[in-house]
Amino acid sequence: MSWLHIIHDTTYRYHKAVRFGPHRLVLRPREGHDVRIEEMRVKIEPEFELEWSRDLFGNCVATAHILRPAEHLRIHSEVLLSQTAPFPQSPARRDAPTRFPVQFSEIESAVAAAYLATTHPADVAKVKEWNSATIDPAIVHDAEKIVAALARRIRQTIQYRRRAARGVQSPSQTLSAGSGSCRDMATLMLEALRSSGFPARFASGYLVGSASNAGRASTHAWAEAYLPSIGWIGYDPMLGEATASNHIVVGVSNHPRGVMPVSGTFFGEYGSYLGMKVAVQTSRFADLKTPSLRSVELSQTKF
């Protein structure tokens, strides 16, 4: 078992004080057999009230009500979570590979259909054409190998480029540009999986690595495919490989906009908005006698 400390800081700045509408926060990692939240804190400036709920996809969502106008909005979350080895272990989880095309039980079919529906209808033909060159005849009957091949091909053909612009590129835009952000690449994989007959969902969260350890990271995104005999499996097209313990899932949705870490509105004069800054920092601990936020080294920046 190991412990992971995550600090996620988002700051919006404005030319003069503005009023804020409710803000939807998807910041709490999803718990399961391999992840458990030990403690979490959310601090917001200016004064706020917070309401927690679960959305249709089972994500923990906080709605922040900002109580007074201000020239900045800062949302600061800290979480300490424990991680265990994946269960069940990969080599023992099945006797034979999942065959392609995948087949679903009567109970699963209705839900699977929602994750097979495209979010970019105009791009389906182009994505299918791109897909046709991905599936090697040698793996045509192995569903998991096809999913892995899609992730590798995106890694090989699309250059990662961090974009400051809001929103997500369509798959056609990403293919035409030959580059995109992690969210653009995840959206391309999402549609590629669906066009191949795999129910797929968009995953948002954190990627633990050198950038996050130095406090210079942002949030991350990838795609997950559903295979009946295995369940949801994650693949990161930016890396071209399966997700692992360094991928911390915060939210999942059938649409990229469904799990934006922070979304909301403000009311003020035109041109008031000056910009946004996001910083994610992570620290791992092999042993904590008293697992709590007090027992780990907190951010050097005073909140």
Give pLDDT, residue 255: 93
Res 301: pLDDT: 46
> Model's pTM, two decimal places?
0.91
User: What H or E segment, with its residue span, contains residue 70?
Assistant: strand 70-83
Per-residue pLDDT tens for 292-303? 888 775 444 444
Evaluate if residue 84 carries a pLDDT over 90.
no
Given a cut of 70, is residue 129 above it in pLDDT?
Answer: yes
Mean pLDDT of 248-267: 95
pLDDT of residue 303: 42
DSSP 267: E
Whole-number pLDDT of residue 95: 60
Sheet of strand 220-227: strand arrangement: 241-242, 231-236, 220-227, 200-207, 247-253
pLDDT at 216 over 90: no
CATH class of the 90-244 domain in this structure: alpha beta
Q: Backbone phi, then psi, for 157, in 5-degree steps?
A: -110, -20
Q: Where are the domains of the chain?
A: 2-84+260-295, 90-244
pLDDT band for position 61 (cuts 50, 70, 90): very high
Q: Kindly state the average pLDDT of the residues 167-190.
A: 95
Does the pLDDT at position 110 exceed 70? yes
pLDDT of residue 298: 44
Question: Is residue 91 pLDDT above 60, yes or no?
Answer: no
- Say how far apart CA 41 and CA 77 lie, in whole Å: 6
Residue 194: predicted pLDDT: 96
Q: Residue 216 and residue 200: Cα distance in Å, rounded?
A: 30
Indicate the CATH number of 2-84+260-295 among 2.60.40.2250, 3.20.20.80, 3.40.50.1220, 2.60.260.20: 2.60.40.2250
What's the average model confidence in pLDDT over 132-143?
76
Indicate the pLDDT class of residue 1, thresholds 50, 70 and 90: confident
Rounded average pLDDT over 157-178: 90
Dist CA 136 CA 158 (whole Å): 19
Rounded distance, CA 236 to CA 151, Å? 6
The predicted structure's pLDDT at residue 161 = 92
pLDDT for the residue numbered 133: 77
pLDDT of res. 226: 96
pLDDT recorded at residue 90: 55
pLDDT at 240 over 80: yes
Confidence band, pLDDT 50/70/90 cuts, at residue 137: low
Residue-wise pLDDT for 11-55, tens only, equals 999 999 999 999 999 999 999 989 999 999 999 999 999 999 999
Residue 178: per-residue pLDDT:
95
